[in-house]
Amino acid sequence: MNDNGVNEMSKRLRAVLEPMKDAGLKRDLWPDVLRKMDQRGARVPWFDWVLMAGLGAAVLLFPRLLPALLYHL
């Protein structure tokens, strides 16, 4: 696109999109994040444990599978 095309596109976008009036945050969100992190610890769902057990069993039964699994990490 040449400079005329860029300028024309810029003019059209400014004509269509009005500027945001109040784009700032009403309050600080960081205290809420800290409170939420302190509320509960990291819980691991049961199916994650099942997947890890299956992966361990697959590596024990098929040791040649390990390089392929490590490649995909």
36: Cα separation from own chain's centroid: 18
- Domain residue limits, the chain: 45-73
* 10, 13, 14, 20 alpha-carbon torsion, rounded to 10°: -130
Kindly tell me if the per-residue pLDDT of 23 is higher than 90.
Answer: no
pLDDT at 41: 72
Residue 55 makes CB contacts below 8 A (sequence gap 6+) with: 69
pTM over 0.75: no
Kindly tell me if the per-residue pLDDT of 21 is higher than 90.
Answer: no
